[in-house]
């Protein structure tokens, strides 16, 4: 399984991003932040790996929503690889 997670500096920014992507008809899920990631807000938005992460990042930046990071995660049965992209 491959996916992206956006983490946020506060619950307020998370809620703004959730509304923004919902209004834009982006498919996402609420995600608890994995323990390997340190974030001020314990919630994140999870996007499928087929989403253009650059477009997601650009939308977030233009909207003034502050994020802690954008991560790429690849999980399989025995391991989880995590990379901070932004």
Give the model's pLDDT for residue 39: 67
CA–CA gap between residue 14 and residue 26 (Å, rounded): 15
Number of domains in the chain: 1
Q: Which domain holds residue 68?
A: 2-84
- CATH number for 35: 3.30.70
CA–CA gap between residue 36 and residue 5 (Å, rounded): 12
What rounded mean pLDDT belongs to the chain? 90
CA–CA gap between residue 1 and residue 66 (Å, rounded): 27
Total-model pTM: 0.87
Distance of CA 5 to the CA centre of its chain: 3
- pLDDT tens figures, 4-15: 999 998 999 999
- pLDDT tens figures, 23-52: 999 999 998 888 888 767 788 999 998 889
The size of the chain, in residues, is 86
pLDDT > 70: percent of the chain: 99
DSSP letter for 59, please: H
């Amino acid at each position: 399984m491959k996916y992206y997670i956006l983490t946020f500096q506060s619950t307020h920014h998370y809620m703004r991003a959730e509304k923004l992507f919902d209004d834009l008809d982006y498919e996402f899920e609420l995600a608890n932040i994995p323990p390997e990631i340190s974030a001020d807000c314990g919630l994140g938005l999870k996007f499928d790996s087929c989403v253009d992460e650059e477009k997601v990042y650009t939308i977030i930046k233009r909207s003034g929503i502050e994020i802690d990071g954008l991560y790429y995660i690849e999980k399989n049965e025995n391991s989880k690889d995590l990379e901070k992209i932004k």
